[in-house]
């Protein structure tokens, strides 16, 4: 069954949507939200803007699977970041040893 946007300004049953799903949806909309924010030193999004946002609400099972898959991807990205730091450190150590005649 295709997901339908929630009505703007209405309330949504807590059983229909997970907090994590909404968090990812808002991060997806972040560029749009930032362009709607007042051009002050600190960007603020008012409730009127948030209430007008459509949100696709797939069945809860799909939301849970979506969040799980994104968590898996984030875990892989974190592992890659750690490996990158280790590779950079090894490279700098190699350069130091090479140019100081230690090799």
pLDDT tens, position by position, 72-100: 999 999 999 999 999 999 999 999 999 99
Q: What angle do CA 67, 69, 70 make, to 5 degrees?
A: 65
Mean pLDDT across the chain: 83
- Are the CB atoms for 36 and 49 separated by under 8 Å? yes
The pair of three-digit structure tokens given for residue 89, joined into one six-digit string? 């450190």
Query: Looking at the 3D structure of the chain, how many domains does it have?
Result: 1
Residue 98: the pLDDT is 94
pLDDT tens, position by position, 15-30: 689 999 999 998 888 8
Structural domain containing residue 12: 4-99
């Amino acid at each position: 069954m295709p997901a339908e946007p929630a009505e703007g300004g209405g309330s949504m049953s807590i059983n229909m949507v997970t907090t994590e799903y909404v968090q990812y949806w808002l991060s997806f909309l972040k560029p749009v939200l930032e362009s709607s924010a007042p051009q002050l030193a600190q960007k603020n999004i008012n409730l009127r803007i948030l209430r007008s946002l459509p949100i696709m609400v797939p069945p809860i099972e799909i939301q849970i699977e979506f969040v799980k898959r994104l968590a898996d991807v984030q875990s892989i990205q974190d592992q890659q970041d750690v490996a990158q730091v280790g590779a950079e450190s090894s490279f700098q150590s190699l350069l130091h040893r090479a140019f100081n005649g230690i090799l």
